[in-house]
Amino acid sequence: MGIRNIQHLALTVPDINSARDFFTDFGLETIERGDAVVCRCVGRDQDQLVLIEGHPRRLGYVSFGVGEAELQEMKKALAGRDDVSFADAPAWSDGEGIWFTDFEGMLTNLRAADEAPWRTESAATFNRPGKRERVGRRSEFLSRAAVNPRRLGHVVLFTTDAARKMDFYTDPLGMRLSDKVANFLNFMYCPTGSDHHVVAFAESWSWGLQHAAFEVDSTDEVGIAGDQMKGKGYVAAWGPGRHGPGSNVFYYIRDPFNWLFEYFADLDYIPEGMEWEAIDWAERDDSPHLWGPTESSDFPTNFETPKPR
């Protein structure tokens, strides 16, 4: 019993037009739905971001998918806790499933939902020693085509207590720790089979969104997409490079409100039933980042909520 996938997240943004422009440039489709702007990936029938205009900027909620038969069981498990309060769905949401605030007041939604399929066809071919996929023609990347992400893969959330958040997402929410960096960064996967992390928790002075990550077709597309965003005047906070935890290639771009959005490719996958051995990257001698530039000094900063004095 537990979370099986991420469905979407909602953000309150101070300027809906700048947000729409940013996510269009990022390669997503945008749809007007009542007062909200919904962002989707090309070729995928699943909301990925729900944007509503307002002040201050704030993570509205995160929506996760669970099994159809599990939803009521999970509701029962949550009802037995004194650190969870059931809540009304925001008026501008679709209202599906169960809504609650957790111990620190973060609104969360569980709904009976599978992952919608995403585009898996690839134009990219690679020549490796002993394995030539592309013979007699030039690289597909020379087309310099616009990059359209395939799916929302994960979110990294700020939390006031990363250990407590991890415990809550382990039981009753059913996720497992895949890796950690000391006690302030915890990566979680779904034992029903998922990416190395579907959600991760970074300790801060308030809950909120650190980044949301979208999968693209290849490691080259990570670099191309990030450079395209820089070419449009957006700020790159970090990348391109390859992480240790999750092994993925990454490129982080700042949106107009100082949240981070990541392009990623080639992330570790943990199949159903496997006991993944979590390690603490803070205890290793080598860097948790394998190659690429150093992160910008403000990469881990929680801009969503001003730091208390």
Can you tell me which of 166, 213, 222, 265 binds Fe ion, judged by CB under 5 A?
213
Nearer to Fe ion, 74 or 253 (CB): 253
Of 85-93, 205-213, 230-238, 288-296, the segment contacting Fe ion by CB under 5 A is 205-213
Residue 49 or 213 having the CB closest to Fe ion: 213
- Rounded to a whole number of angstroms, the minimum distance from the CB of residue 154 to Fe ion is 6
Determine phi and psi for 18, rounding to 5 degrees: -65, -35
CB of 213 to Fe ion, least distance (A): 4
CB of 90 to Fe ion, least distance (A): 25
Q: Which residue lies nearer to Fe ion by CB, 179 or 262?
A: 262
Q: By rule CB under 5 A, what count of residues binds Fe ion?
A: 2
Task: Name beta bridge partners: 110.
Answer: 64, 98
Q: Are 219 and 225 in contact (CB under 8 A)?
A: no
Q: How far is the CB of 196 from Fe ion (least distance, A)?
A: 10
Distance in Å, CB of 246 to Fe ion, minimum: 7
**Environment class of residue 275 by beta-carbon count within 10 Å: exposed (0-12), middle (13-18) or buried (19+)?**
exposed
Please identify, using beta-carbon distances, which residue of 66 and 213 lies nearer to Fe ion. Answer: 213
For Fe ion, the closer CB: 213 or 253 = 213
Q: Is 80 exposed, middle or buried (CB count within 10 Å of its CB: 0-12, 13-18, 19+)?
A: exposed
- CB of 156 vs Fe ion, minimal distance in Å: 6
Smallest separation, CB 153 to Fe ion (Å) = 8
- Nearest residue to Fe ion on Cβ basis: 213
Residue 309: CB minimum distance to Fe ion, A:
30
Residues 116-135 that bind Fe ion (CB under 5 A): none
Question: CA end-to-end span of the chain, whole Å?
Answer: 41
Return the number of the residue (173 or 200) whose C-beta is nearest Fe ion. Answer: 200
Closest CA to 268 of 290, 299, 238, 283: 290
Which residue number, 99 or 158, has a Cβ lying nearer to Fe ion?
158
Q: Which of residues 243-262 bind Fe ion (CB under 5 A)?
A: 262
Task: For residue 283, count other CB atoms closer than 10 A to its CB.
Answer: 9
User: Which span sits near Fe ion by CB under 5 A: 7-15, 29-37, 207-215, 221-229?
Assistant: 207-215
Q: What is the per-residue binding string for Fe ion in 165-184, x denoting contact by CB under 5 A?
A: --------------------
Which residue ranges make up the site for Fe ion (CB under 5 A)? 213, 262
